[in-house]
Amino acid sequence: MSVTIKSEREIILMRDAGKILAEVHEILREMIVPGITTMDINKKAEELIRAKNCIPSFLNYNGYPASVCTSVNEEVVHGIPSTNRILMEGDIISLDAGVIYQGYQSDAARTWGVGAISAEAKALIDVTKQSFFEGIKFAKEGCHLFDISNAIDDYITSFGYSSVRDLVGHGIGTQMHEEPQIPNFRQKRRGMKLQAGMTLAIEPMINIGRYDVCVLEDDWTVVTEDGSLSAHYENTVLITKDEPELLSML
Ligand code: MF3
Ligand code: CO
């Protein structure tokens, strides 16, 4: 399948999906306190998503067993919620979730601190979020796709961080993963020209240490190879002729 340009009707549904997902994230954020388990977060996420007449897109996707990915500390993405994983003061956790509303998808991730966190952890979270905003300065008609990748990478490398290479952002629409793939690290080519009506999930995954990652025995959890902390920030974005519209932000 190639890149899809959404019609005005489709954009309205993607706006609805994105708004619902943004609201889910706002509520989940308030749950992030020492002592709760990652399964508590998953239960709440699934309940909220279904209460808004959406389907949790991650559940059973390629066999993934939950509605939200909960990735703690050196876990980069795809952490599986568990009743045994209790959040501790000083942890950082990324929550990645997706919803399907009337056939249209939204995908977004946030990283939060649990209680008081180190200055080092806070800086990683802030820079990762800002790298998304640096990237989307180029998310408009006429720019090239890899302008986004390069802006993200140049920003985070200026802090000495590394951008994960094995995982990328993606187009999104009726499918969670559509073309194009969107790397978060510097590219030699410019990539395709962006057009109004494209919807993209842009999602920097940033490590304090090296970019190398590996997958745990559970076949899902991606962790940094060097054990360094990792953060993730993602929104579903609509390309327009001017500023991008952030569909999964309130
Ligand atoms: N947001 C992720 C992505 O963009 C997570 C999907 S993995 C899943 O690919 F299996 F949990 F769905
Ligand atoms: Co995604």
Q: Could you state, in order of their start, the residue ranges of all structural domains in the chain?
A: 8-246
List C-alpha distances in Å: 131 to 62, 149, 157, 169, 184: 29, 10, 10, 13, 9
Ligand 1 binding pocket mutation candidate from 69, 202, 222, 248 (most atoms within 8 A of CB) = 69
Provide the pLDDT for residue 223.
Answer: 99
How many A from CA of 101 to the centre of ligand 2? Answer: 16
- C-alpha span between 105 and 21 (Å, rounded): 10
Q: Can you give the pLDDT at residue 169?
A: 99
Ligand nearest to the CA of 76: 1
Q: Mean of the pLDDT values across residues 68-96? A: 99
CA of 92 to the centre of ligand 2 (A): 19
Task: Quote the mean pLDDT of the chain.
Answer: 98
Q: Could you tell me which residues come within 8 angstroms of residue 110 by beta carbon, excluding any fewer than 6 positions away?
A: 25, 29, 94, 95, 233
Percent of the chain with pLDDT over 70: 100
Mean pLDDT over residues 3-21, rounded?
Answer: 98
Which two three-digit tokens encode residue 94?
């990324």
Q: Which residues line ligand 1 (CB under 6 A)?
A: 58, 61-62, 64, 69, 78, 96, 98, 107, 201
User: Is residue 5 over pLDDT 80?
Assistant: yes
Q: Is the pLDDT of residue 1 over 80?
A: no
Give nearest CA residue, ligand 1 atom 6.
58
Predicted model pTM = 0.98
Q: Which CATH superfamily is domain 8-246 in?
A: Creatinase/methionine aminopeptidase superfamily (3.90.230.10)
The number of the ligand 1 atom at minimal distance from the alpha carbon of 203 is: 4
Q: Identify whether the C-beta of residue 233 lies closer than 8 Å to the C-beta of residue 240.
A: no
Q: Residue 52 pLDDT more than 90? A: yes
Distance 120 CA to ligand 2 centre (A): 25
Confidence of residue 134 (pLDDT cuts 50, 70, 90): very high
Q: What residue type is assigned to position 232 of the chain?
A: H
**137-190: pLDDT as tens digits:** 999 999 999 999 999 999 999 999 999 999 999 999 999 999 999 999 999 999
CA distances from 222 to 52, 92, 151, 197 (A): 30, 15, 24, 32
Residues 6+ apart with CB under 8 A from 142: 193, 194
Mean pLDDT of 200-210: 99
For residue 113, pLDDT over 80 is answered with yes
Distance 187 CA to ligand 1 centre (A): 23
Convert the pLDDT of each residue in 217-250 to its tens digit.
999 999 999 999 999 999 999 999 999 999 999 9
Mean pLDDT of 57-83: 99
